[in-house]
Amino acid sequence: MKREMTRRSFVKESVLSSAALALAVNSRAEDPAKPAAPAPAEAAGLPKGRIGKLEVSRLILGGNLLTHYTHSRDLKYVYALAAHYNTDEKILETLAKAEAAGINTVSMHNPEHPISLLRRYRKERGGKIQWIICPTAPVEPDMTKYRQQVEDLVKDGCEAIYLWGVHADSLVAQGKLDLVAKAVEVAKEFGVPSGVGGHSLEVVKACEAQGVKADFYIKTFHSHSYPTAPKPDQIKGPYNEFPGYWCSDPQATMDFMKTVNKPWIAFKTMAAGAIPPSTAFRHAFMHGADFVLAGMFDYEIADDARIAADAIARNKERARAWTC
């Protein structure tokens, strides 16, 4: 007997059909014949190295996205998009996800509001993530402003300090290596590891040549194998937003860093998003970086931690021995 289809019976059957479809999909997703998902980074074990007395995960959470500075070239809307996505609460969640994935260190410069969130994460959420911070105060002969920012950061619990690469690039270009050395010594006076950052390879070369007592370097490193990479005639300086590059000579960086027996944190390894992490991390670790500093949104962290752990495991023979 043919049954009449009423609105109620139609809705009921639609719901039942949807439920059945969902069960079927879930059943396929859980098919035991399929390979298991990769183990979480915390289970696989994200490797660590040492900077001074600090034990640091070889993948470090970068601060650019947390400070809403995205290096998005001429796509200006991305800055507002990042700011709307990375709310205060989302930043606190991001720090927690990083720790859960085995990333135990964050590195950034020191604008007041993002630093206040790092404080909140420790005080309100019980966070343990370590800070490697570069003060942005001017580096002047009396070092007054710079010293004050270093002191404030150390009082907040900052575990390591480095000279901001923007400052270091400029000081070395002006022949003011004495101020670079002073900045390094200021942080050491407060008992924390003290490093030097830079986009220009000349920064590392000058520090090594003149015996600046940096404990570590933070140096840009990425290949030029991406569609918007600069052409040789477009490389005018250590870095440039248009075209987007932050390591002007990857081969020279690779070659010189082989001679440096200090921990090297490579940053801008993805050329600010132009290179996928699976390629970027492997390239950095294969060619000598001891650590990779990467900006990550919260939803990228677990995958990036697994990618980094895999890249390290695959690079048994490196172009540069591990220094830490």
Residue 34: pLDDT above 90?
A: no
Q: How confident is the model at residue 295 (pLDDT cuts 50, 70, 90)?
A: very high
- Give the residue with greater pLDDT, 72 vs 142: 142
Mean pLDDT estimate for the chain: 88
Least confident of 76-80, 221-225, 307-311: 76-80
Q: What is the pLDDT of residue 316?
A: 79
Provide the residue ranges of all domains of the chain, joining segments of one domain with +: 45-314
Summarize pLDDT for 222-231 with one digit per residue, the tens. 999 999 999 9
Can you state the angle between helices 112-125 and 88-100, rounded to 10 degrees?
60
Q: Which residue has the higher pLDDT, 309 or 25?
A: 309
Partners of 131 in the β-ladder: 106
Say whether pLDDT at 29 is over 80.
no
Supply angle C-alpha 98, 289, 114, rounded to 5.
35
Superfamily name with CATH number, domain 45-314: NADP-dependent oxidoreductase domain (3.20.20.100)
pLDDT for position 212: 98
pTM of the entire predicted model: 0.86
Using DSSP's 3-state secondary structure scheme, residue 60 falls into: strand
Mean pLDDT, to the nearest integer, of 216-236? Answer: 97
Mean pLDDT of 12-23: 37
Please spell the DSSP secondary structure of 111-160, one letter per residue: -HHHHHHHHHHHHHH----EEEEE--S---TT-HHHHHHHHHHHHTT--E
